[in-house]
Amino acid sequence: MFRIGAEELLLIFLLALLLFGPGRLSTIARELGQSVREFRRGLMEEPPEVPRSQSREPLGHAIAGSGEGKGEVRVQGPEPPGPPASAP
């Protein structure tokens, strides 16, 4: 993707050193390393199991009650835009 050579890395490091200073740069590097470590640890953990609902009745009632007004679509939200104005 990106092809960064040694010269570019050195330039980036020198710019960061000038912007943040040696003390702050070491703190930033430490925090970045900890963040990457936590991210990798999170990737290796098993995802929490999502509980499934025991009953599907509410969905069944909603579908059964939708028989009224067949062919009618109701959209909640702002009014749709009107027709475009004609050019003078």
Please count the helices (runs of H) and the strands (runs of E) in the chain.
Answer: 2, 0
User: Is residue 85 helix, strand or coil?
Assistant: coil
Closest CA to 16 of 33, 35, 7, 24: 24
First to last CA, the chain: 51
In the chain, domain spans: 21-45
> How does pLDDT run along the chain (88 residues), one tens digit per residue?
678 899 999 999 999 999 999 899 889 999 999 999 999 998 888 777 766 665 555 555 555 555 555 666 666 667 777 788 776 6
Residues 6 or more apart whose CB falls under 8 angstroms from that of 64 comprise: none
Contact 16, 23 (CB under 8 A): no
pTM: 0.42
